Amino acid sequence: MSKTPAVKKLTGSLGERVASLPKPVKIGLWVAFAVLAYALPLLEPPFISPPGTDFGGVLFTVTIYCLVALGLNIVVGYAGLLDLGYVGFYAVGAYTAAILTTFHANWPLLLALPMAVLASTISGVLLGWPTLRVRGDYLAIVTLGFGEIIRLVAVNTEWLGASKGINDIARPPGKALFEIPHLNWESGVPLLDFNDTTKFIEFGVLDQIPYYWMGLTVVILVLFADRLIKDSRVGRAWEATREDEDAAELMGVPTFRFKLLAFATGAFIGGLAGALYASRQSFINPLSFLLLFSIMFLAAVVIGGQGNRWGVLVGAVVVAYLPERFREFTDFRVLVFGAALMALAIFRPEGLLPPRRTVRAKQSEAEIEALEEGAEGEETSRV
């Protein structure tokens, strides 16, 4: 469904107005936004904060989905490769971190993290090298197979903990410097609650908020990196490959190499997300890496608006946060979620926040159409 002109005008002018602000003001706005994001679990605003569950934990899940969505967006949105087994990279990252920090090696997490990312990147290259020559939809099923193979190998290998999984994964190092009080909204007005505090910054068992901060920081770093890559030669090469592979090849873009690079970059971010997830969770088993998660990740990218980094973040929030917020539906959660996916797909086929290029292309198409119709109208009136 298209937006009504009034709404379009409002959002359009808002975007333009922000874009036309002087640079220091824009930076100020972004910083304010980031500070708000960091403070969110401390504010515990009513209605937004899900009842009955730990808000910090939910927000951490949201950041992991954001991270994964950003990674998958590079593969699906920028390079146009359909990946149905993204959870495989996530699993490789998580398992590498788990193995290296537990009984097999006992490394500290900060040492294991780069190894986990390296392992998943290598797995991305190894998977991509033979399979990226395969065309479009076949790639989807090959990647789906890869994701399932990774999970089944984990289920069947004693060394990887089989179906029990791996316990006692190292947590990030931290030191409690000071305590930050939460807000309490019970009386209707926000009050500082000094009984309910978060230690800055200690990665404990109960309080999930420090993990959220860690996740958010990584998301912001990845966002910067994403912006740099997208606007570089690499990003343009990806777009050219996505739009028309043969034309890109003729223009001198080594498409295979760039597709491989997209795959590896996606795997890098997926592995990073997996490792962070493993360290928060402190235990993992193959049930955390079902095919369903690949599908949820893809849903986040597509309903948010593939190719637009802010769009996929919105998609990730929708996919990760809404089911947690509406926990009171319990048994009907999946049903409602499925219906929501369908409704979004049918009524917003470009995603919630389509990339600016798509919007522009649509607009110019509509203009051309209007011109053509107008010309016809003139002719008929002349007759």
332 binds other proteins (CB under 8 A): yes
**Which residue bears the tokens 């019970």?**
186
Kindly state the DSSP code that residue 286 receives in the 8-state scheme.
G
Residue with tokens 């002109």: 5
Q: Which of 70, 109, 117, 148 binds other proteins (CB under 8 A)?
A: 148
Q: How far apart are CA 319 and CA 172, in angstroms?
A: 26
Output the smallest distance, CB 349 to other proteins, in A.
Answer: 4
CB-wise, 76 or 109, nearer to other proteins?
76
User: Alpha carbon 3 to chain centroid distance?
Assistant: 26
Separation of alpha carbons 26 and 31, rounded Å: 9
Kindly state whether residue 322 participates in binding other proteins, applying the rule CB under 8 A: no
- Minimum Å gap between C-beta 124 and other proteins is 15
Q: Is the Cβ of residue 229 or residue 341 nearer to other proteins in the bound state?
A: 341
**Interaction of residue 68 with other proteins, rule CB under 8 A:** no
Q: Tell which one of 118, 122, 155, 183 touches other proteins (CB under 8 A).
A: 155
What's the token pair of residue 181?
A: 């009080």
CA gap 64, 311 in Å, rounded: 16
Tell me whether residue 40 or residue 344 sits nearer to other proteins (CB atom).
344
Q: Which of 170, 59, 60 is nearest to 115 (CA)?
A: 170
Tokens for 279, please give them: 């360290």
By CB under 8 A, residue 342 contacts other proteins: yes
Region label for 249, one of left (φ > 0), alpha (ψ between -120 and 50) or beta (otherwise): alpha
By the rule CB under 8 A, 34 interacts with other proteins = no
Give the distance from CA 35 to its chain's centroid: 20
* Nearest distance, CB of residue 234 and other proteins, angstroms: 22
Q: Which amino acid is at 74?
A: I
Please give the DSSP secondary-structure letter assigned to residue 187. Answer: T
Which of positions 70-129 make contact with other proteins (CB under 8 A)? 76, 82
Helix, strand or coil, per DSSP, at residue 199 = strand
Residue in 37, 225, 295, 352 binding other proteins, rule: CB under 8 A: 295
Which of the stretches 22-30, 114-122, 187-195, 292-300 binds other proteins when contact is defined by CB under 8 A? Answer: 292-300
The DSSP result for 109-140, as a single string, is: HHHHHHHHHHHHHHHHHHHHHHHTTS-HHHHH
Residue among 153 and 371 whose Cβ is closer to other proteins: 153
Q: How many residues bind other proteins (CB under 8 A)?
A: 45
Count the Cβ atoms, other than its own, within 10 Å of residue 334: 11
How is residue 296 written in tokens?
């949820």
Instruction: Determine, following the binding rule CB under 8 A, whether residue 352 of this chain makes contact with other proteins.
Output: no
On whether the CB atoms of residues 95 and 284 are closer than 8 A, the answer is yes
| Residue 356 binds other proteins, judged by CB under 8 A | no
245 belongs to the binding site for other proteins (CB under 8 A): no
Dist. CA 126–CA 143, nearest whole Å: 12
Residue 359 binding other proteins, by CB under 8 A? no
Q: Which part of the chain contacts other proteins (CB under 8 A), choosing from 2-10, 105-113, 150-158, 228-236? A: 150-158
Select 70 or 302, whichever has its Cβ closest to other proteins.
Answer: 302
Closest by alpha carbon to 354, among 324, 291, 296, 309? 309
Min. distance of Cβ 62 from other proteins in angstroms? 20
When binding is defined by CB under 8 A, the residue of 133, 227, 327, 357 that contacts other proteins is 133
Q: CA-CA distance, 350 to 352, in Å (whole number)?
A: 7
Taking the complex as a whole, how short is the minimal distance between the CB of residue 238 and other proteins, in angstroms? Answer: 16
**Between 343 and 370, CB nearer to other proteins:** 343
Q: How far is the CB of 84 from other proteins (least distance, A)?
A: 9
Q: What residues line the site for other proteins (CB under 8 A)?
A: 76, 82, 130-131, 133-135, 137-138, 140-142, 144-146, 148-149, 152-153, 155-156, 291, 295, 298-299, 302-303, 306, 331-332, 334-335, 337-346, 349-351
